[in-house]
Structure 1
Amino acid sequence: MEVKRTIPVKLSVPDDREDDLHQTIDQFNHACNYTVEHGKNDDGYLILNKSTIHDKVYHGLRDETCLPANLCVRAYSKAVEAMRSTVTDWKKGNSRPLPQFNKPSAVYDKRTLTIKDRSATLSTIDGRVAVEYVLGDYQKSYLDDDDYEKRMGTLHYRENEDAFYLHIVIKREVEEHDGDKVLGVDLNLKNVAVTSTGSFYDGGELLWGQNHYFRGRRSLQHKGTRSAKQVLRRLSGRETRFVLNRLHTISRRIVEEADAHDCSYIAVERLTHIRERMDNRNDQVKRQMHNWAFRELQEMLTYKASEYGICVEQIPPAFTSQTCSKCGHQSSTSRNSDRWFECTNCGYSVDGDYNASKNIGFKLLTLPEGRRPSGLGDGHLALKSGTLNGNGEYTAYDATSADRESTDKPTTSVVGR
C-alpha cells in the first residue's frame, strides 16, 4: 500500500525575497479564481477536464499574471479539482457556491520546487527563491528517511506567525499487514475511544481542557479590547495544540494496540451525523460535541495505521450501541443513562462503549460480500480474552481465558495524555 505524508516545514526566507513569495501566492489565487470565472464552455457549464480547460484559460493566465508556465498549470489544476467537488455536491442536491480562492497558499510540483534535505528552491514571479528549513525532530525523522520519496509541496503563509511554511508531500510503499483479524473501535465523548480488546482512552482531560479554554475565551470576548483579541488568538493556538497533541497520542496507542494483537484492520463507525446520534440534551454537551474532533482523530488513526500496513475501515453505525455483543438481541432500553449496557434478553452486563466497540468490529466481519474488504476472508474479531469469527464462534487465547468475556469494565484504562 502507498503511504503519503504531508510534513509542514517552517522556512527561513531572505528578507529581500519575502515580497516575491507574497506576490506569487496572490497571483496564484488570482489565477485559480480566473479559471473558475472563465472555465466554462459555450453553454455556460463548468469545464472539468484539465486538457480542455488548458486551451480555454492558459494563455489568459499568462497575460493576467507574471506566474511561470508551470505554476499557471498548477493553478488551473487546483481550480478544476475544486470545481469537480462543487459539481458533485450539486448533483447530490446540495446548494454550494462556486469555489473562491483567498487563502494564502500556492501549489508546487517537481518542476517548480526543488526539495533538498535542509533547503528548497521555489519558482516565483521573479525567478527562483532559495530558502532554508527550520526543522524540529518530527520533520527531521521524515525528511531523513530515505524510504520516503519527496514529491511536491504547498507554500503557505501563516499570518498569525508572520512566517512561510512549506507543506512537503512524501510517499513510500508499505507492505500490507497480513492476516484477517479486526480491532473494533468506538469513538465517543466521555471515552474518546474504546477498543474491542478492552482499552479505554479517557476523554476527561480533553473535556477539562476544552471547558478551561472555553471559559477563558468567553471572559476575553466580553472585554472586547484590542489586547483581549490578541490574547484570544494566542489562546486559540494553545487550545488547538493541546487537543491535537492528545489526539496524536491516543491514535498512536490505538494503532499500537492493533499491531500488538496482530490486527490487519481497524473498524470504526462512519462519522455521518455522529453529533445528531449522541446525547445532546443540554447546552454544555452540545458545545462539547460541536468542538469534538471526531474526524481529526479518525484521520490520524487512518494515516498512522497505514505506516503499519493496517487498513482503517468505516462501517454503518446503525444500532451498534443498542445491540448485545453476546447474543445479538437489539433493544433501545438495554443501554441506560449511566452508559452501562445490560441486555434485556440474556442479561449480559458490560460497559456500553465497550459493547459498542465489539459490535463495530463484528459488523465489519459480517458485511455482505462485495462490501467487506477483499483481504478479510472469514475474519476474526480481536477481544481482550480471545477472538470471535463471523459465525459467532469464540476462541480463547489460552486456557485461563476460557470464560468468553468478563461482565466487568475492562481493566485496561488509558488516559489520553
Structure 2
Amino acid sequence: MKLVVQVKLLPTPEQAWALTATLRACNQAATHAAAIAHAKNLTDRNGLQQEVYAELKAVFGLSAQPAVRVVKKVVDAYTTLKANLRAGNLGRPGSKRRIKAESKPVTFRPRAAQPFDDRCLSWQLDQQTVSVWTTAGRLKKVRFACSPETLKLLAAHRRGESDLIERDGTFYLMATCDVPEAGPYEPEYFVGVDLGIANIATTSTGHQAAGRGLNRYRTRQQKLRAKLQKKRTKSARRRLKERRRREQRHVKNTNHIIAKRIVTEAQRTSAGIALEDLGGIRHRARLRKPQRVTLRSWAFAQLGEFIAYKAHRQGVPVVHVDPAHTSQTCCECGYIDKRNRVDQALFVCRNCGVVAHADRNASHNIAHRGAVVWNAGRESRVPAAP
C-alpha cells in the first residue's frame, strides 16, 4: 500500500528564495499549458507535451524533466476534472457550476505543489539533506527534519515522486512510500463502527469515542474566527492566518487516535471491521440551517480512510456496508420503524420492546451486515465436481 510521508525542509534564506521562484515558474508554466490544452482539446500526455514542451523550456526556464512533470501535472488535473464531472460532484448537466467548470481552463495557484521525480530530487538520508533542481540551479545539502520513524520509513520504502509544498512560508516534501501490507486473515467476527457527530465512533464491542470535547472545541474556534473577522485589522488577519489549519490538525490527530484504537482492538481479537458507506451524505441530508455547519465540519470520510488504511497495513479485513436504516432497525428482532429512534441517544423497539443506546444498536446492525457482505464475497469452498 502507498503512504504519504511529510518532512519539513529547513532551507537557508537563499535556498528558500530559489524554491519559491521555482514553484512560481512551474505553476505559471502549468497554467499556460492548461490553457493550451483547453483551447485545443488536448487530453493525452504525448499530444500536449509535443505542443508545449519547447515553449516551457524557452519561456519559463524549465529544464527537460521539470517540463515533463509540469505536463503530467496538467494532464492529471484535467483527468480529475473529468472524473468529478462524471460523478456529478460539480452539479448536474446544464447547471451554472458545471458550465463554469467546463467553460474555462484549469488554473494553478502560484505556490501550488510541484512533483519532482528522482532525476530532479535526490535524498541523502544519512545526512538528512536533499538535493533539488530549481530555476536558479541545483540546490545541494538542503536540510530537512522528521521523526526517527519517518526516516526509517523513507529509507526502506520510499518510491516514486515527491511533491514540494509551501505553506505560510514553510516548505515541505511529501514523499510516497510503498509499504507492504500484512496478509489478511479470516475474521472470527466483525466489529461494526457507527460514525456520528454526538459520538464520533461507536463500536459493537462497547468502545465509544464521545464527540462532546471535539464539538466544543469547534464551536469555540468558530466564535473566535467570527470575532477576528469582524475586527478587520492587520493583526486580526495575522491571527486568522495563524489559526487557519489549527482546527484541521486537531481533528486529524483525534481521528488518528480513534482509528488506531479500533484497528488495534480488531487485530487483537482476530476480527474484521465493518464501516458504513457514507459517500454523498452531505448532498442527501436535509437539515435546518444551524445544523448545516456541524454536518459540513464532520470529518467522517477522513476517519473512515484512517481506519481503512491502518487496517490494511495490519492485515485486518475491512468491508463497507449500506447504511440505510441502520439507526431504525432493531438489532435483536430486525424490526424497522422510524419511531424506534426515540431521540439521539435512545432506541426503543416497538416490536420486541428492547431498549438500547441508539448508536450501539446501529453498530450491531453494521456488524451483522459486514458479516453478510464478507460471506457473500468469499470464494466458494465447495469442491469442484469430479
TM-score normalized by structure 2?
Answer: 0.86
Alignment of structure 1 residues 8-47 onto 2, 5 Å: 8-39=6-37, 44-47=40-43
Counterpart residue number, 2:132: 122
User: For 1:389-413, what per-residue CA distance to the aligned partner results, in whole angstroms no more than 9, with x for missing partners?
Assistant: xxxxxxxxxxxxxxxxxxxxxxxxx
Structure 1 residues 252 and 112: CA distance shift in structure 2, 3 A: same
Counterpart residue number, 2:301: 295
- Residue type at the aligned position of 2:274: A
User: For 1:128-169, what per-residue CA distance to the aligned partner results, in whole angstroms no more than 9, with x for missing partners?
Assistant: 1124444243xx20222454234321001112xx22111111
Deviates more, 1:193-202 or 1:268-277: 268-277
Shift of 1:92: 4.6
2:362 pairs with 1:356: yes
Shift of 1:57: 2.5
Distance 1:86 1:253 in 2: 36
Identity %: 28
> Is the contact between residue 68 and residue 124 of structure 1 (CA under 8 Å) also seen in structure 2?
no
Alignment coverage as a number of residue pairs: 365
2:349 pairs with 1:343: yes
> Is the contact between residue 179 and residue 376 of structure 1 (CA under 8 Å) also seen in structure 2?
no
Structure 1 residues 235 and 126: CA distance shift in structure 2, 3 A: closer
Distance 1:375 1:231 in 2: 57
Distance 1:100 1:365 in 2: 46
Distance 1:377 1:190 in 2: 43
> Is the contact between residue 268 and residue 360 of structure 1 (CA under 8 Å) also seen in structure 2?
yes
2:232 corresponds to which of 224, 229, 233: 224
Distance 1:261 1:364 in 2: 16
> Is the contact between residue 152 and residue 170 of structure 1 (CA under 8 Å) also seen in structure 2?
no
2:163 pairs with 1:154: yes
Alignment of structure 1 residues 241-260 onto 2, 5 Å: 241-260=249-268
- Residue type at the aligned position of 1:212: R
2:171 pairs with 1:164: yes
Distance 2:48 2:283 in 1: 41
User: For 1:216-275, what per-residue CA distance to the aligned partner results, in whole angstroms no more than 9, with x for missing partners?
Assistant: 222222222211221222233332332222222111111112212212x42222222334
Alignment of structure 1 residues 252-331 onto 2, 5 Å: 252-263=260-271, 265-275=272-282, 280-281=287-288, 283=290, 285-331=291-337
TM-score normalized by structure 1?
Answer: 0.80
Alignment of structure 1 residues 129-144 onto 2, 5 Å: 129-137=139-147, 140-144=148-152
Distance 1:373 1:281 in 2: 39
> Is the contact between residue 78 and residue 106 of structure 2 (CA under 8 Å) also seen in structure 1?
yes
Shift of 1:201: 0.6
Distance 2:300 2:282 in 1: 9
Shift of 1:84: 1.3
> Is the contact between residue 255 and residue 305 of structure 1 (CA under 8 Å) also seen in structure 2?
yes
User: For 1:154-199, what per-residue CA distance to the aligned partner results, in whole angstroms no more than 9, with x for missing partners?
Assistant: 001112xx22111111122122221134322111001000112121
Distance 1:197 1:53 in 2: 54
Gaps of 5+ in 1: 379-417
Secondary structure of the residue aligned to 1:320 is coil
Shift of 1:359: 1.7
Alignment of structure 1 residues 77-92 onto 2, 5 Å: 77-92=72-87
> Is the contact between residue 122 and residue 130 of structure 2 (CA under 8 Å) also seen in structure 1?
yes
Distance 2:164 2:352 in 1: 59
Distance 2:380 2:210 in 1: 30
2:83 pairs with 1:64: no
Counterpart residue number, 2:94: none
Shift of 1:11: 0.8
Distance 1:313 1:377 in 2: 20
Which one has the bigger helix percentage?
2
